[in-house]
Amino acid sequence: MDSQQAFGLLLLVIISQLKETVGSPIKACGVWNTIDEQFPWAVGIYSGDSENKLELVCQGTVILDNIVATSAHCVCGLLDNKVKSNLYVSNQIKNQLQSGSTSIKIQPSEVFCHKEYKGFLFYPYADIAIIKTTKLVFGDSKPTPVCVDWSDLNVPSIQEVKNGLLPIWSTNMKIFKALSLDSDTCTAFTSDDFLYVLDNDKLCLKTDFVPNDSVNIGSGLIIKNPKDGLYYLEGILSYVDSDSNRKGKSTPIGATSIRQYINWLSHTCVRE
C-alpha cells in the first residue's frame, strides 16, 4: 500500500467516526423493550400478592445494577400504612406477571422518596423516587445502566421548568414503543408520529395502544449522546392526560427533570 492509498484509508476511517460522533442527540423513551434494538433500562413495577399474579402499576429506569429511578407517586403512596401493598420490580414489562424468579420484592426500607414530595394531588413537585434492591435487577446479565451525570455534557438546557416538571411533552404525544430513529430518517415522516422535543431535536415514536395509561408513569426519557455513545436519563414521566375519546391513546404532559435532582440522586444512591 503506497502513501496515497494509506492516506485515503485513514480519511475514510476519520469520516466514519465523525458520522458517529456529530449531530443532535438521539432521543428515545424506555417504555416497552419489544423491538430488536432493545432499551434494557426499562423495568416494570408491580403490585400484588406473592401467591397470585402481579399487576403492572408503573415503570422505572435502571440507573445502577440494583437502583431504579421512578415516579414518587407511583410507589410512595402504595407503601404507606393505609395501603400496605406488596411491590415488586422486574426486568419484564407486562400488564400481568406471575411472581417468581423474574420479580424482586421491594421492601419499604428500599424506597427513597424525595423529601419535598408531599403527594401528587396536593404538591406535584419532586415527583421522583429511588428503589434500591438487595438483588441485581438483571441478575448476572449486566446491561450498561443509563447515566444521570450531566456535568460534563454539552447538551441543550431546559429554558423553563415549572413546578419541577419539564415542558417537553407535546400535547399530542401518544403512548409509544421505544423506537428511536436518527434525525435524517425522522425527516421522512410527516404523520403524527413525528414529534419535536427539546429545541426542535427530532424524535420518532411508534404509537401503541395501552389499556391502562397509568402503567407508563415512571418511565424515563432517554437521550443518547453521540459524542460518547452513552445514554442519559433526562426526565421521568409524572402524569398523563387520558381521553376516552381518543381510542385508548393518552397524552404524556408532565415529566420530572433529572438534572434538578442530581445531588439528591447521588447521595441516595451511595446511602447505606
Residues 221-252: pLDDT tens digits? Answer: 666 555 555 566 777 777 655 554 444 444 44
Cell of residue 250, nine digits:
393518552
Q: Is residue 12 in a domain?
A: no
Got the DSSP string for 43-82?
EEEEES-TTSEEEEEEEEEEEETTEEEE-HHHHTGGGSTT
Give residue 266's domain range: 24-270
Domain containing residue 130: CATH number? 2.40.10.10
Query: According to the model, what pLDDT value does residue 218 have?
Result: 80
Query: According to the model, what pLDDT value does residue 163 have?
Result: 42
Got the DSSP string for 186-232?
HTT--STTEEEETTTEEEE-EE---S-GGGGTT-EEEEEETTTTEEE
Q: Is residue 68 in a domain?
A: yes
Give how many domains the chain has, as a whole number. Answer: 1
Q: Is residue 220 in a domain?
A: yes
Q: Is residue 112 in a domain?
A: yes
Which amino acid, 208?
A: D
Q: Is residue 18 in a domain?
A: no
Q: Which distant-in-sequence residues (6+ apart) come within 8 Å of 167 by Cβ?
A: 158, 160, 161
Query: According to the model, what pLDDT value does residue 129 have?
Result: 92
Q: Is residue 106 in a domain?
A: yes
Question: pTM of whole model > 0.85?
Answer: no
* Share of residues in the chain with pLDDT > 90 (%): 2
CB 146 within 8 A of CB 231: yes
Write out the E strands in 81-227: 87-90, 96-98, 103-106, 111-113, 129-132, 165-166, 176-177, 194-197, 201-204, 206-207, 220-225
The distance between the two most distant Cα atoms of the chain, rounded to a whole number of Å, is 78
Q: Is residue 253 in a domain?
A: yes
Q: Is residue 95 in a domain?
A: yes
SS3 35: coil
| Mean per-residue pLDDT pooled into runs of 10, the chain (272 residues) | 49 33 37 39 80 81 82 79 74 76 84 83 74 76 57 43 38 33 36 30 33 63 59 69 46 64 76 60
The DSSP H or E segment spanning 4 is helix 3-21
**Between the CA of residue 232 and those of 23, 42, 52, 95, 242, what are the distances in Å?**
16, 13, 35, 26, 28
Give per-residue pLDDT as tens, 186-213: 333 322 322 333 233 333 332 233 334 5
Query: According to the model, what pLDDT value does residue 7 have?
Result: 41
